[in-house]
A = this chain, B = another copy of it.
Amino acid sequence: MAQVSFGVLNPPRRILMGPGPSDTHPRVLSALAAPTVGHLDPYFLQVMNETQQMLRQVFRTQNELTLAVSGTGSAGMETCVVNLVEPGDRMVVGVNGVFGGRMVDVARRAGAEVTVIERPFGEVFTVEEVAEAVRKARPKLVGLVNAETSTGAWQPLQEIARVVHDAGALLVADTVTSLGGMPMETDGWDLDAVYSGTQKCLSCPPGLAPVTFGPRAIAAIEARKTKVASWYLDMTMVRNYWGQDRAYHHTAPINMNYALREALVLALEEGLENRWARHKRNHLALKAGLQALGLQYAVAEGNQLPMLNAVLIPAGVNDVAVRGQLLNEYGIEIGGGLGPMKGKTWRIGLMGETCHPRNVLTLLAAMERCLTAQGVKVAPCAGVAAANASYAAA
């Protein structure tokens, strides 16, 4: 058998302004490349401890059961759902985008009887809608997406958590896109289980899924009558590896955990509140610029995610051509629409390291060129000027 190998790895330099992954800080890349140690090495156990302590700060929680699942964000979703539901358990899931729909699929595979409540893509749920659904369905668990990566919509959760708890249910929240980029309060909002990913506002490459489980969630896990459907994601075992026992479960992705640790150090050096403010400031400037280019947001004012700006593609503009030109001429990645939004929206990310004025201005200048190439009339430098004015006013 002839053996064929390939040449030198040589990825292009991109500005990652899509829905994630975001740009990675050089310190995080350096951490990735640090020498591998064993998964039971005292040094790695210390890395795990430090990572847990920092994850608790980023999640804004005292939850002991806070750790990084050895998979990407979707593995975090699956971890929360399969640990909290048993076959026959009732669950209510809010579907207003692709990731709510994914949660329904995950829950049904785990044997849950799922009641779906729906809003059109880009909209969010009111407290009353959720209250009514839990009154009717009497679920064990409610799942909502705090930040819908497919639509750019922000779902407030604090009041919803109250009505969910009043009905005796638990609330699991998808914060894959929001964590580290805008206020998200696990304890302050009384969330029972929260999952995220590393490659959005934490700006660590994809590969780990931070999760946290509160006291009610742990009680539900401990009261299970059946084993968790997934061995790999079974928190009753994973917690013994991340906990005091350090019982071997699986071999953790050592270097990915190095990278997450460094990304968390960076986030806390900046300060979470400063980081949230930075995301908001750059979002406002980008928004001013995009609107000056004639692009309209797909989500109503008040529910727009600062780190994920979904805008409607103007009539007559070729989605693929614009994204291709941005990528090939400027090295800028933005995202297309997902699911039913395919061809209808662009998703422009300002996450973590990517969320910087230089990227806002570059994107606006390049987008002007691309729109003009599509025959759209744009006043010269309208986008950049509007963004600069926004920064000046901030």
- Residues on A facing B (Cβ under 8 Å): 1, 3-6, 9-14, 16, 18, 20-21, 23-24, 29-39, 41-44, 47, 50, 53-54, 57, 60, 70-75, 78, 102, 105-106, 108-110, 197, 199, 205-207, 227-233, 248-256, 258-259, 261-262, 264-265, 268-269, 271-272, 327, 333, 338
The residues of B that contact A327 with a CB separation of less than 8 Å are 41-42
CB pair B253 A205 closer than 8 Å = yes
Smallest CB separation, A71 vs chain B (Å): 5
Nearest-CB residue, chain B, relative to A267: B5
A262 to B33, CA, bound (A): 13
The 10 closest A-B pairs by CB, nearest first: A207-B253, A5-B268, A33-B33, A74-B250, A29-B33, A205-B255, A5-B265, A206-B251, A106-B231, A32-B32
Given A57-B4, A70-B207, A268-B5, residue A75 in contact with residue B30 (CB < 8 A): no
The answer to whether A207 and B6 touch across the interface, beta carbons within 8 angstroms, is no
Given the interface pairs A11-B35, A254-B205, the reply to whether A6 lies near B54 with Cβ below 8 Å is: yes
Give Cα distance in the complex from A206 to B248, angstroms.
14
Contact call B24/A35, Cβ cutoff below 8 A: yes
- Check A253–B206 contact: CB distance below 8 A: yes
The residue that A60 contacts in the complex, of B1, B20, B44, with Cβ under 8 A, is: B1
Q: In angstroms, how far is the closest chain B Cβ from the Cβ of A241?
A: 12
Of listed A9, A50, A229, A248, residue having the most chain B CB within 10 A: A9
- Contacts beyond the supplied A3-B272, A6-B50, A13-B35: 20 A-B pairs with Cβ under 8 Å: A1-B57, A4-B53, A5-B54, A5-B268, A6-B53, A10-B34, A14-B37, A18-B38, A21-B36, A21-B37, A70-B72, A71-B71, A73-B250, A74-B232, A105-B231, A197-B251, A206-B251, A206-B252, A207-B256, A255-B259
Q: From A108, which residue of chain B is reached at the shortest CB distance?
A: B227
Which chain B residues lie closer than 8 Å to A12 at the CB level?
35, 37, 41, 43
- B30 engages A33 (CB within 8 Å): yes
Taking a contact as CB atoms under 8 Å apart, the answer to whether A232 and B197 are in contact is: no
| Known A-B contacts A11-B34, A18-B38; A71 and B75 likewise in contact (beta carbons under 8 Å) | yes
Closest to A14 in B: B37
Return chain B residues, CB-CB under 8 Å to A16: 36-38
The residue in chain B whose Cβ has the minimal distance to the Cβ of A188 is B1
Min Cβ gap A128→B in Å is: 30
* Contact, CB under 8 Å: B271 / A3: yes
Q: A285 to chain B: closest CB distance in Å?
A: 23
Chain B residue nearest to A353 in the complex (CB): B36
Residues of chain B within 8 A (CB-CB) of A38 are: 14, 16, 18, 21, 333
* Inter-chain contacts of A11 with B (CB < 8 A): 34-37, 43-44, 47, 258
Q: Is the CB of B205 within 8 A of A207?
A: no
